[in-house]
Every structure is written in C-alpha cells, then in structure tokens.
Amino acid sequence: MTTPRQVAQQQVPARLRVAVAAPLSEGNCARIQELEPRIDLVIDQSLLPPMRWPADFAGDPSWRRTPEQQRAYEAAVDSADALYGIPDVDPAALARTVRANPRLRWVHTMAAGGGSQVRAAGLRADELDRVLFTTSAGVHGQPLAEFAVFGVLAGAKGLPRLNSQQRHREWSGRWTMGQVSEQTVLVLGLGGIGRAVAAKLHALGATVIGTSRRDVTVPGVSTVLPPDRIAEVAPSVDAVVNTLPGTEATEHLLGKRFFDALRPGATLVNVGRGTVVDESALLDALDSGRVGFAALDVFETEPLPAHSPLWDHDHVLVSPHTAALNAAEDRLIAELFAANATRLLDGDSLLNRVNTVEFY
C-alpha cells in the first residue's frame, strides 16, 4: 500500500517555488539559484528581521512587522512548495503555515536540531506525512568538534586550577598535567558532529569510545556500544563529549547513575542538547569531584537563568550556545538547501530528514 508520503515523493515538480522565511542575504540567494536554477525564490528583504551576527535567523528581537507586512509575509509562505526556514523560528507559525498551505511539501530548518522545533509545532500525523522536514545537520560539525576538543584539553590541562592561581597571583609548585593522548574519551552520538569529534580526538592519540543504536564502524572509534550501556564504561573514561539531540530517549541520559559511576575528575563537554544532561545531578557531581571540569555550550533552559549555580561554579565554563557559529554558516546552509532542492526535483531522497517519530 502506498503511503501519503510516498505519493508526495512521486509527484516531482518541474520547478520549486521556495518562500524564504528566514533571513538570507542577496549573495546567498544568488548562490542557491546558481546551484539549482529550477528554484523560484520568493523573498522580500523588508519582511525579514535584520541579523545581528551570522546565522541569527531569529533576528533582532526589537524588530516588528506592521500588520500589512505580516499579511504579506504569511501570503508568501502560504504560496510556496517549500520553505527556507521555519517562519520566525516559531513552532506555532510553522503549524499555522502547514495548515494554511496545502501545497507545502518541504520545510528546511536552520538548526541542526530542528526536529525539536517540528515536534513543538504539534502537527497531526497526516501533516507530518504530507510535509518533509530537513535540518542543517553537518554544517556545524567542525566548529563544534573544535569546541569539544578545546573542552577536553582544558579539562586535561587543569584550566580551573590555572584560572584560580592566576586570579590569586599564586605561583604554586609544578604539577603533572593530563595528556589527552593517554586518555579514553566517550563520545555520545556518532552522527556528523560525533564523527568529527572522534576524528580530532583520535588524531591527538586519545582512545575513543562511541555510542550508537546501530551496528556501525567509525574511523577513529575503538568501541561502539548502545547508549543504555554507558554506565558500564563510565569508570574507565577520562572525558565525555555529548553530541546527541534532545529527544525523549536522550533526556537526562547523563544523570545520577552515570555520574556516580564516572571516574573521579573526569571532564564533561556538551555540544549536543542541554536536556541530555541532568543539571542537578551534574552539580552534585561537580561538587563531589566526580566531574572535574565541565565545558557547556548548551543547557536545559536557555538562556541560562541568572540564578543557575553553573554560572558561579569554579569548575564550569559557560558558553552561550555559540560554539557552532562561524562566518561560513549562512553560506553552508544555503548550499545544503540547494543540494536538497536538487534531490527533491530529481525525485531522490533528501539529506538530513527529520525522524517524525522521535524528532531528531
């Protein structure tokens, strides 16, 4: 029996009408159409918020459309076969658009973890069958992998102690620093980001253990185990890097049970999603010394609340969800979108499809 999704995939259009729902520079508009001339871009720059930095797709929060502009914006997204971006990075606006536009067949999200935004839209099963969703996964792999290596190195070299001694002008006796080349690092998730992390750590000489729900072989990874077995290896690892998305299956995967089993003084780096880490359990682990250093780019609640103890903890480095950002990100997302548009127009499967059961 043919499913609605298979029917949608069989109906390949000759051209693709794409409404630009997120900020996109004129140069990247031209780049998309250069790579895939069968796209008809619908864009009005006056309807899109100004970006404050690269990949600032939500734009300046003080910017507002007039009622007339809002009607024009909604008319544009309601007329398209595909959307470049979730309208206003707002799940409610996504749901409105899907229901108002029966011809919509594909939405590309700007985030690597765009599945969480799709889940938050609360779409019905038939709507999830009708519209394909893709993410920008892979675009952020190298910047996040560099931050992960930075975090592992900072933990191995005793960054908290160095910061404290410098702050107090204390010239202590010498001590032995950790060597990443002698460490075992657990990388949670072996998608694009996890593989990039593993490759860089392996190049530094670390022994890398990875997690996957599938039987995979990954260069630079000595052992692959399912996520539900991480507590078994926790006593033998010197550092943990999370690259997993935020799903029901990953929520608080790094919790009390894991931290209690962890080798004392281990480093934690989180470049995946904040919900994977139980922050209350992490704070206990930091206070007890089970975690010697944590480099965190993501948090359970963002922005990180001012009252969070993580701000003031001597063994925590807080990064405001900025580790993925690089000057080339906008162009790379545009190029990924163009490549997927070609696939759609040629009747091929799309890259980075959102799993609309677990939303990753």
What are the residues whose beta carbons fall under 8 Å from the beta carbon of 173, sequence distance 6 or more? none
Strands (E), the chain: 16-20, 39-42, 82-84, 106-108, 132-134, 184-188, 207-211, 223-225, 239-242, 266-270, 291-296, 316-318
The pair of three-digit structure tokens given for residue 325, joined into one six-digit string: 């950002």
Beta bridge partners of 133: 107
Looking at residue 108, its amino acid is H
First to last CA, the chain: 26
Please give the order of strands across the beta sheet that includes 106-108: 39-42, 16-20, 82-84, 106-108, 132-134
In the set 31, 108, 119, 273, the catalytic residue is 273
- Helices 141-156 and 192-203, interaxial angle, to 10°? 40
Residue type, 345: L
State the Cα torsion 206-207-212-215 to the nearest 10°: 130
User: Is position 252 annotated as part of the catalytic site?
Assistant: no
* Token output for 166: 């410098």
Would you say how long the chain is, in residues? 360
Look up 343 and say whether it is catalytic.
no
Angstrom distances, CA of residue 16 to CA of 32, 75, 80, 330:
12, 17, 8, 21
> Which one of 17, 99, 263, 321 is the catalytic residue?
321
The yes-or-no answer on residue 307 being catalytic is: no
Q: Is residue 156 within 8 Å of 179, Cβ to Cβ?
A: yes
Q: Which of 34, 182, 232, 302 is catalytic?
A: 302
DSSP 285-316: HHHHTSEEEEEES--SSSSPPTT-GGGG-TTE
Asked if 28 contacts 19 with a C-beta cutoff of 8 angstroms, the reply is: no
For the annotated catalytic residues, the residue numbers are 273, 302, 321
